[in-house]
Each structure stands twice: as structure tokens, then as C-alpha cells.
């Protein structure tokens, strides 16, 4: 088993050293051939110094450190790590003690044994549930992602997962630079008909302060889901929207039959035209999307 483990770091000075030590310990005990890529994403709390100390502690190891001069975002940090990684399988792990390194190894074993393209850690326990607003937003996002992909998605944004590097590189320009990275990579893999599976894992209370802004990040994630879906399967969005206008046009036509009011004839005509235009836009977008995907696959 071989893997490149990427740990994005932004103001995680309280937990990063322990996380790295756990990675080396678990991987060495289980005789896994690995490299560790730490990406310091413009930290301002002393994480830079902690990472530099780690680098000195493992001078001859397969450890890489990347420093961003300022904060680019969670997804951007992982992307930097992917581009520097040498192994065929990428594993991502947060630096805040929420995930167990041994679970990442469990995901890797599952991926290799059953030949999946990506295996995601499905978080369990009360630490995962969060506040009521967080649960509601997560449920809405889950419903949207499942509608767009046509698949069950038990955990839409787990930060513990393993996946093929080559498939990630094919979709790199579509993946979010922010906290939506995990959701966007799930969408991209599923919409390319990649084999994705979920394995239950533990999820613990984080060390340090969370950087997630619930409302702002949720709005950004919803927007990103629609963007990625438009790229891969625009009819999934345009067809239902066209259907809504068609139903409204049909309703106006029926009202005209009963009331005889000509205003409803005009309204039905406008609504029917709008429905046809939207559906036509979806067909054009679908044709261009298929061509773009074909060109990307060849490249």
C-alpha cells in the first residue's frame, strides 16, 4: 500500500505536531509506503514555526512542506499538495484532531481491496451532528447533491478520504479553493461515473477554533454545487426549470378554457416560449459540456 497524505494547515498550532506524529507512527507500524505533504496556508498563529520544527525532526524522511505566503483557502492548500504529491493515491486529513489516522488507513485498505476510485470516511457520533442550523443546511445540501448526482451521498463534506490522483488532476480546475473542496470533488468523481464508497469512521471534537463560517460557506457551497453540475449535467438543472414553466403554461391554458379571458392566452404563450427556450439552453449546454469532457479525457 502506498499513499501521499496531505494535511492542510491554517492556524492549527495546537494540534499539528500530534497529528504528524500519529501519521508517522500509524504508517510505520502498518508498514505503509507513504509520503506526508504539509501545506501551511498562510497561518498567523505560530503554525509556521511548528511546521518548521516538524521538518527538522524528520530531516531524512519522506516529508514535504509547502508554505503559502497568505491564506488561499482549504481547497487551494489541498490542490497544492496534490500537485506536489508523488504517489498514485492521495489521502487528506485535517490537522485538528477530529479524524483518526488509523481510519485513513482503513479507507486506503478498502479502496485497494475493492478497487474504488475514492473512499470517503462517513462521520459518526454527536460531534458530527453539530447545531440545528448546521444540521438543516447539511441536509439541504445533501438533498441537492444527491439530486444532481443521482446517487446516495451519506456524508457530503467529510475531510477524511482517499482518492486517485489522476482523477483529481483531471478535475482540478473544477474543485473549490475553499471549504467546498470536499463537496466539489465528490460531485466531480460521481458525475464522471467514478466508483465511490463510504466507510464509517470516528469523528472527534476539534482542537482549536473552527474556521468554518456556516452561512457564508454554505451559500458558497450551494453555488459551487450548481456550477459543477452545470458543467457535467446541465439538463439536470435546465429540464426541471423548463418543466415548471411548462406546467404554468398548461395551467394558464386550462384557465383560459374556463374563464375565456384572453390575458391567460398571452400568459400561456409567454410561459410556453420560456419553457422551450430554457430547455433549448440546456440542450446546447449539454452538447458543449459533452465535448469539453471528451477533450479533457483525451488530454
Each domain of the chain, given as residue ranges in start order, spans 2-232, 235-298
- Neighbouring C-beta atoms of residue 276, cutoff 10 Å: 14
**Cα–Cα dist 244/266, whole Å:** 17
- pLDDT, tens digit only, all 299 positions of the chain: 899 999 999 999 999 999 999 999 999 999 999 999 999 999 999 888 998 888 888 877 789 999 999 999 999 999 999 999 999 999 999 999 999 999 999 999 999 999 999 999 999 888 787 677 778 888 888 898 998 888 999 998 999 999 999 999 998 988 999 989 999 999 999 988 999 999 999 999 888 777 767 677 777 788 878 878 777 888 888 888 888 988 988 888 887 777 766 677 788 888 889 888 888 887 777 666 555 444 454 45
Residue environment code for 35-64, b if the CB has 16+ CB neighbours within 10 A, otherwise e: bbbbbbbbbeeebbebbeebeeeeeeeebb
**CATH architecture of the domain with range 2-232:** Alpha-Beta Complex (3.90)
Rounded Cα distance, 197 and 110, in Å: 9
CA 73 to chain centre: 13
User: Is the overall model pTM greater than 0.85, yes or no?
Assistant: no
Amino acid at each position: 500500500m502506498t499513499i501521499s497524505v496531505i494535511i492542510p494547515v491554517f492556524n492549527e498550532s495546537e494540534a499539528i505536531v500530534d497529528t504528524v506524529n500519529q501519521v508517522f507512527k500509524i504508517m510505520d507500524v502498518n508498514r505503509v509506503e507513504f509520503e506526508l505533504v504539509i501545506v501551511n496556508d498562510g497561518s498567523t498563529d505560530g503554525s509556521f514555526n511548528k511546521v518548521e520544527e516538524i521538518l527538522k525532526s524528520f530531516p531524512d524522511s519522506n516529508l514535504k512542506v509547502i508554505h503559502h505566503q497568505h491564506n488561499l483557502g482549504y481547497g487551494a492548500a489541498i490542490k497544492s499538495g496534490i500537485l506536489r504529491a508523488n504517489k498514485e493515491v492521495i489521502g487528506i486529513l485535517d490537522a485538528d484532531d477530529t479524524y483518526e489516522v488509523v481510519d485513513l488507513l482503513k479507507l486506503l485498505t478498502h479502496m485497494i481491496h475493492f478497487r474504488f476510485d475514492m473512499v470517503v470516511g462517513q462521520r459518526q457520533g454527536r460531534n458530527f451532528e453539530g447545531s440545528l442550523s448546521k444540521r438543516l443546511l447539511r441536509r439541504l445540501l445533501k438533498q441537492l447533491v444527491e439530486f444532481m448526482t443521482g446517487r446516495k451521498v451519506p456524508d457530503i463534506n467529510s475531510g477524511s478520504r482517499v482518492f486517485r490522483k489522476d482523477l483529481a488532476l483531471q478535475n482540478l480546475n473544477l474543485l473549490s479553493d475553499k471549504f467546498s473542496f470536499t463537496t466539489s470533488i465528490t460531485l466531480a468523481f460521481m458525475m464522471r461515473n467514478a466508483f465511490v464508497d463510504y466507510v464509517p469512521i470516528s469523528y472527534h471534537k476539534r482542537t482549536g477554533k473552527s474556521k468554518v463560517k456556516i452561512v457564508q460557506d454554505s451559500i458558497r457551497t450551494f453555488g459551487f454545487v450548481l456550477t459543477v453540475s452545470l458543467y457535467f449535467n446541465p439538463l439536470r438543472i435546465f429540464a426541471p426549470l423548463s418543466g415548471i414553466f411548462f406546467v404554468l403554461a398548461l395551467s394558464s391554458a386550462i384557465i383560459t378554457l374556463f374563464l375565456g379571458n384572453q390575458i391567460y392566452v398571452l400568459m400561456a404563450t409567454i410561459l410556453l416560449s420560456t419553457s422551450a427556450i430554457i430547455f433549448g439552453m440546456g440542450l446546447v449546454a449539454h452538447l458543449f459540456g459533452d465535448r469539453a469532457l471528451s477533450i479533457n479525457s483525451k488530454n
